[in-house]
Structure 1
Amino acid sequence: MTANVPTVTLHNGVTMPQLGFGVFQVPDAETTAAVTAALDAGYRSVDTAAIYGNEAGVGKALAVSGLAREEVFVTTKLWNADQGYDATLRAFDASLAKLGLDHVDLYLIHWPTPARDLYRESWKAIERLVADGRIRAAGVSNFQPAHLRRLLDSSSLVPAVNQIELHPGLQQNELRALHAELGIVTEAWSPLAQGAVLGEEAITAVAQRHGKSPAQVVLRWHLQLGNVVIPKSVTPARIRENLDVFGFTLSDDEMAAIAALDRGLRTGPDPDTLN
């Protein structure tokens, strides 16, 4: 079955589902079952990364799914230790081999690691992979405004996506405004703040009103903002619940109440200092 998931169109014309399935912190041995449950539920986008150590598990799920390759949007990411031109090309080959694929739909530089200052070299390698048709869309993750501007000083290839920590407690307004200006799609990781925002009264009240869970309300908030979102779960019931967010709409007042929860709450590292 496929859920009726809307798509967003990236600046190069490639479309990606607005809601996908993340596998961060899922052990490789459990990944195949989790991704299989997600594909069975109707997800058609899977987000992994070299550092997660579960690309092979994702690849196995894709192989046994019976779905045509073009039906599933696959994202993976370049790890920090593999930045640099030649290292990026090697790391990409290794990811592709683990996934068992001949191309990925989206390839991201995982972190800018500004002190190492290799992301521009990595981006040149990614430009080559795009030209070779091995990446349908190229993007970044955790890039701050200064990193994006510096990248574009030396390249005409604008990232299609920037995947950042984003949830009601950390709304990234400055970054989202820059994305809008540059034509970059905003993708949210840790979209539920690892549960830290789900007890907020502004969210629980909306959930009660709509007969939905707080997690469903937050995912709906992301979708209405235009974010791409990749919740993760290994529980089949929760996997299905996270996809059941298209049958209701938050009012302007409800959106505003959630917007008021922004407080600079990071659940992950600071991109300016992670090296």
Structure 2
Amino acid sequence: MTISTQEFRGENQTETGKSPGRLSRLGGRLFSMDLRGAIVPVGALVLLELFVRMAWVSPYVLPPPSDLYTTFLYLAEGPLWTNIAASSLRVLIGFVAGSLLAIVIGSIVGLWYSAERYLEPSFQALRAVPSLAWVPLLMIWFGIGETSKVVLIAKSAFFPVYLSLFSGIRNVDRKLVEVGEMYRQPLPVLVWRILIPASLPHLFTGLRYGLSLAWLSVVAAELLAASEGIGYMLSDGRELSRPDLVLIAIICLAILGKVSDSVFKLVEDRCLSWRDTYSTSIGGRPT
């Protein structure tokens, strides 16, 4: 089988034409990014730099961004990434453990009313206890090692996920369940095909909220007893009277929290692309 020179050139042009198209689409996405959210933080940094230079704000109270940048370069040589990695690992383990437990228990309580009567009052009472109140007891039980920190993070992530999933299951349209029962579908099929998809919007809301509480809890745990982590940076900056260290730690927490929440938002949009809501309808997304 022979291929003519004209056909070969046509195929080659088609293949090579794909690359510029992909690059142009990628460039279009980069240039179409909405940067309006950066106006407020960038403007605040510029104003802070000006106020400190004009002696309107004491650098001991609020260090200028130029000093923060110098401190960041110093910390970036080693201790900063070690602390970020330690806190991120604790958040990851505690959040996954607490979320999985919440999904299991939330599904049980949501599906069976008898389980709700036994468990729901206790969970509501425990939810009202602040996380810091558990720290002394956890340190007595597990010591000052990693276990107590992970348990505290898991406890903080548990309740938002549990409550959201429980609410999502109970708010599933009754007609959908009746249709499944009419076709004599067993309970596992009803859960997998009807209850889980219908309650996913509530579940993702709880997961995102639980993730934010996990970051709050890791700071509380590391402030009390830790040799590395972002909370340890905060404690170290307080003891050394270094507001620049404290602000660097706060900025790292803000960035990590925003990045992790954005990743969850992307997963949520992908998993819930079937929804026909106001934000996904034509003209519904604000500009």
| Structure with greater strand share of residues | 1
**Higher helix content, 1 or 2:** 2
TM-score, normalising length: structure 2: 0.23
How does the TM-score come out when normalised to structure 1?
Answer: 0.24
Tell me which structure has the larger Cα radius of gyration. Answer: 2
